[in-house]
A and B are shown apart, each in its own frame.
Chain A
Amino acid sequence: MSSKISRRNVLASGLSLGAASLLPAYTLAQSKTLVAATFPGTWNEAHRAILKPAFEKRTGASITQSIILGQDQVSRLIAAKGSQPPFDVAIFDSPQVLDAVKQGLIAEYPVAKSPNYKDLLPEFQDKWGPKISMQVIGIGYNPKKITTPPKSWKELRDPKYKGRVGLTALNSQLGIAFLAELNRLNGGSETDFEPAFKALRELLPNVGAIGANLGAYATLWQQEQIDIAPYNFNFVQTLKGKGVPVELAIPESGPVGWFTSMHIVTKAAEPDLAMAYIDTHLDPAVQAAMMKPPFDVIPTNSKVKLEGAITQSIAKSHAELSKIRGFDWEKLNPQRSALIERFNREIKL
């Protein structure tokens, strides 16, 4: 046999290589792998450590958890419209759910087939996909520099914090939520944001840094570049876990927040597994495990007794949890683009 490489030889091996690249689709279908989106940071860690093993034990299938931000998930699902979506389970914050429903990106959740769904507190039930947790915002502060916890959003304007206040750009959920809350407290409405921007202009002399994204924002705290700023309960818990001096104070005007929910994507490759995955997230044992530090994920199942850091600053009971104020994303969403633009103009140096 000659070992010379003939053109025919090369062609044949080339073709078989091409055919092999089509094969993974087959093998995937046989061993059943679910692809689920997850958020970066704490969420990803909690999902890998707790949800993944629980799901694999329950179904025997395997799971790929892919880290994608909510807005990016929407973009990717839009881009894949009409063909096989890049993942089966989406994880969204409240505002993206509205966009996703409008664009037909997510399917209705089979409520009747999901055993844990009925145990959710009523606020957390949703036919487009159950709410798996809440994000609550308050005033983050450095306890080394600020010994009395701030009591109101107005304190950010205190001249003694000149150059020590941080903000985040409006492309993050935290940024939009803070602006909306500022607007409400200063007498604005969903159609009139002038009060918020007026308050922002008054706040600017105190602002030392504006993080372009949440990653950069976390660095501002780590480097002690800022001492006081709007922040989110779960981010504070994560940073605290890493030894960063930061605490969250809930202002007297009360905690505000938004929901985080999971959804089965339209035309998902594995809709039944997707449902099982989401239902596992609603399981009281799973939610109780995620409530423990360092995750501190706020539970939504009525069978989970509230414990730990959540009861210290956010809610002592399910009744209090239900009372946390939300935002009218239906009205806020269409203005997002205009708000981002206006924010950029007003804060630009």
Chain B
Amino acid sequence: MRFSESQLALPLAALFVTFFVAPLSVLVALSLVTEQGGNTFTAVHYIKFFTDSFNYSILFETLLLGLKATGVCLLFGYPIAWIAARAKARWQSVLIFLVILPILTSVVVRTFSWIVILGRQGILNQIVLGLGLSHEPVQLLFTEVGVVIVLAQVQMPLMVLPILTVLTRVDTNLADASRALGAGEWRTLWRVTLPLSLPGIVAGCILTYSACVTAFVTQTLIGGARLIYMPLQIYQQAIGANNWPFAAAISVIFMIAVLALISLFGMFGRRV
């Protein structure tokens, strides 16, 4: 028997249908019934979401949180990737190991250690108070600034690795040529290296962004219950209030919103 190449994809397709398409269809179907187990179809949950400014302010803030954290990740991640790409082979592997290190511990553990760092009695506040920069402990835990800081650290590898991969493949002769033609380091970085590494930046941003907006553990542990983002809202509706259809509806809305933003990133990446 001969296999055509497309048939090789069949097992993957089956896996995809069973564990991705099917649950997703169940989710969408659930979001369209009045109550769990009911079979009257309705759009009432979607109407409820969009007629209430409280709900879409949460959606907006979640999407914005993702942008902020991704921005911080890019700001710190790009230089790390750039340095790692230019480092000697031995140093490069050390740097890559350091970048990957956070992924090797559980996200819960990492987030709890950030509580120890950011808290009122935390290391950061001890330093601030010790240096006399402030008389009162600085409130970082349960603020958006705190959430952005932690998200940026926790998701950093997702930004650095794609950029690093692209940067190591960029021909070093191009940078040499740019310098030979009289461009300085900054100009070379800005006009040559950066545009060439754009695919890596776009990939990194997409990965980081989708990880940041859905980071339930970090958002709830560092943000507390006063900063409400979509994952917490979905969790509370599903588990706390047992309102599965509404939870399903807001999950669908959230997913579409994130997909839309991510495809915007992607389009931006292709155009430039």
Contact of A337 among B36, B139, B141, B243 (CB under 8 A): B243
Is B267 interfacial (CB 8 A cutoff)? no
In the bound complex, how far is the Cα of B119 from the Cα of A336, in angstroms? 31
Residues in chain A near residue B141, CB distance under 8 A: 209, 225
- Give residues in A with beta carbon < 8 Å to B: 71-72, 74-75, 78, 99, 163, 167-171, 208-213, 216, 219, 223-225, 336-337, 340-341, 344-345, 347-349
- State how many residues of chain B have any CB contact under 8 Å with chain A: 31
Q: With A171-B240, A225-B119 given, name 14 new contacts (CB 8 A).
A: A169-B236, A208-B142, A209-B142, A209-B224, A212-B225, A219-B112, A223-B120, A223-B122, A337-B237, A340-B236, A341-B241, A344-B233, A344-B236, A347-B226
Does B253 lie at the interface of the complex (its beta carbon under 8 Å from any beta carbon of A)? no
The answer on a CB contact under 8 Å between A340 and B240 is yes
- Whether the pair B228, A348 counts as a contact (CB closer than 8 A) is yes
The 4 lowest CB-CB distance pairs between A and B, nearest first, are A171-B240, A337-B241, A169-B225, A212-B220
Check if A210 sits within 8 Å of B226, measured CB to CB.
Answer: yes
Please give me the residue from chain A that is nearest to B142 by CB atom. Answer: A209
Bound: A219/B112 CA distance, A = 9
* Contact mask for chain B residues 215-236; partner A; CB cutoff 8 A; 1 contact, 0 none: 0000011011111100011011
* Centre residue among A75, A212, A225, A341 by max chain B CB count within 10 A: A212
Task: Choose from B221, B240, B243 the contact partner of A170 (Cβ within 8 Å).
Answer: B240
Residues of B within 8 A of A349 (CB): 226-227
CB of A99 within 8 A of CB of B115, answer no
- Residues of B at the A interface (CB closer than 8 Å) are 36, 54, 112, 115-116, 119-122, 139, 141-142, 220-221, 223-228, 232-233, 235-243
B132 to chain A, nearest CB (A): 21
B225 and A336 contact, CB distance less than 8 A: no
Partner of A210, one of B122, B142, B233, B241: B142
Name the residue on A nearest B240 (C-beta): A171
Contacting residue for A219 out of B54, B115, B235, CB 8 A: B115
B118 to A: closest C-beta gap in Å: 9
Shortest A220–chain B CB gap in Å is 9
Instruction: Give the complex CA separation of A171 and B235 in angstroms.
Output: 9
Nearest chain-B residue to A163 (Cβ)? B139
Q: Which residues of B contact A170 (CB under 8 A)?
A: 240
